[in-house]
Amino acid sequence: MQRKSEKPIKITEVCLRDGSHVVAHQFTEEQVRDVAQALDAAGMHYIEVSHGDGLGGSTIQYGRSRVNEMKLIETAVSVCKQATVAVLLIPGIGTVNELKQAQELGAGLVRVATHVTEADVSAQHIHLARELGMEALGFLMMAHSAPVDKLVEQAKLMESYGAQAVYVTDSAGALLPHEVRERIAALRQSLDIEIGFHAHNNLSLAMANTLAAIEEGATRIDGSMRCLGAGAGNTQTEVLVAVLERLGIDVGIDLYQMMDVAEEIVGPILPGSQEIKKGSLVMGYAGVYSSFLLHAERAGKRFGIDPRDILIELGRRKAVGGQEDMIIDVAAELAKRQGKGA
């Protein structure tokens, strides 16, 4: 493996944020404290703590958190001796007030996340974060659904707002390794800031894509212990540390401690197994949000067609979150085409 960057790789552990989806946002203070403390001791660089949908996500729509995320952030900060506590903010869900509060509680980094074509909504939050002295990074979600030049254009916007890195975020776990390569390479050529990569494992490619990203020069990498993240989970962090060691890439994180944290602290939190099952496989194959699955199943029943056909068509049309209405239209059209009716 030949790395196209001499900068050190910085790992962000997302199990306490992306994994929030898996536990229906029911993390307890004790769980967050134990995981953060153990990861900090193992040498983890960044630990992200927020509702699964970022700051302010605890709502009827996105699912109520058991414990206020500010309390969880405070808890994580209180036990971290060297790791930086990070937060996620999706403009429209989270606000500047929540960002200020998180910063006051000790969060040192924010990732401002937008759909891959909507970077412009990140401007004020990136500006504010920099003013507050936080690290401010951009996070372009559903990165598979935009052409490479569009992705570059949007990343450059985030850079112009002051983002110190931009992530290619493969929210649906839909990217193939060569698609990751071309995206990271294009960003490397066009930006002066660091490039990050956030994988999901829906196609069993999280590790492959992560290594492809690192090879092309990405230096900010996300992982989740025991794959505790949405869909089929993320790049499994403790395995990533092992693979990087085998590749001779030193990240200064203790492998044995990571194995122990995964087994003894994160393992017992898992509500079920993080394997690739039908739902997450379809999601990765079609390239759609998991929130579409249930709607597609209902529409499939109503119109007598396979819900997978609906999801794949939605993926072709690049449907984004919030466009669940489109599902009925697509289902009706497909039913007509297949000679079936509701």
Among 60, 192, 273, 339, binds a copy of itself (CB under 8 A): 273
Report the binding-site residues for Mn(2+). Answer: 18, 198, 200
Closest distance to a copy of itself from the beta carbon of 36 (Å): 20
- Residue 81 or residue 278: which is nearer to a copy of itself going by CB? 278
242 is a contact residue toward a copy of itself (CB under 8 A):
yes
How many residues does the structure list for the chain?
342
Among 227, 293, 319, 335, binds a copy of itself (CB under 8 A): 227
The piece of 73-81, 97-105, 205-213, 327-335 that touches a copy of itself (CB under 8 A) is 205-213
Among 59, 82, 204, 338, binds a copy of itself (CB under 8 A): 204
Distance CA 189, CA 185 (A): 6
Closest distance to a copy of itself from the beta carbon of 194 (Å): 24
Among 206, 293, 314, 334, binds a copy of itself (CB under 8 A): 206
Closest distance to a copy of itself from the beta carbon of 209 (Å): 8
Lay out the site mask for a copy of itself across 313-342 (x = CB under 8 A, - = otherwise).
Answer: ------------------------------
Among 67, 121, 191, 259, binds a copy of itself (CB under 8 A): 259
Catalytic pick among 21, 25, 115, 125 = 21
Closest distance to a copy of itself from the beta carbon of 309 (Å): 9
The piece of 25-33, 97-105, 124-132, 245-253 that touches a copy of itself (CB under 8 A) is 245-253
CA dihedral 242, 247, 249, 252 (to 10 degrees): 20
Closest distance to a copy of itself from the beta carbon of 25 (Å): 22
- Residue 277 or residue 336: which is nearer to a copy of itself going by CB? 277
Among 235, 265, 300, 320, binds a copy of itself (CB under 8 A): 235
Within 43-72, the residues that bind a copy of itself by CB under 8 A are none
Distance CA 310, CA 332 (A): 9
Among 281, 326, 328, 332, binds a copy of itself (CB under 8 A): 281
176 is a contact residue toward a copy of itself (CB under 8 A):
yes
Identity of residue 197: F
Instruction: Note if 21 is an active site residue.
Output: yes
Contact 233, 200 (CB under 8 A): yes
- Residue 67 or residue 176: which is nearer to a copy of itself going by CB? 176
Distance CA 225, CA 25 (A): 17
Closest distance to a copy of itself from the beta carbon of 110 (Å): 28
For the chain, the maximum distance between any two Cα atoms, rounded to a whole number of angstroms, is 63
**Burial class of 85 by CB neighbour count within 10 A (0 to 12, 13 to 18, 19+):** buried
Rule CB under 8 A: which residues touch a copy of itself? 1, 176-178, 201, 203-208, 211, 226-227, 235-236, 238-240, 242-243, 245-247, 255-256, 259-260, 262-263, 267, 272-278, 281-282, 284-285, 306, 308
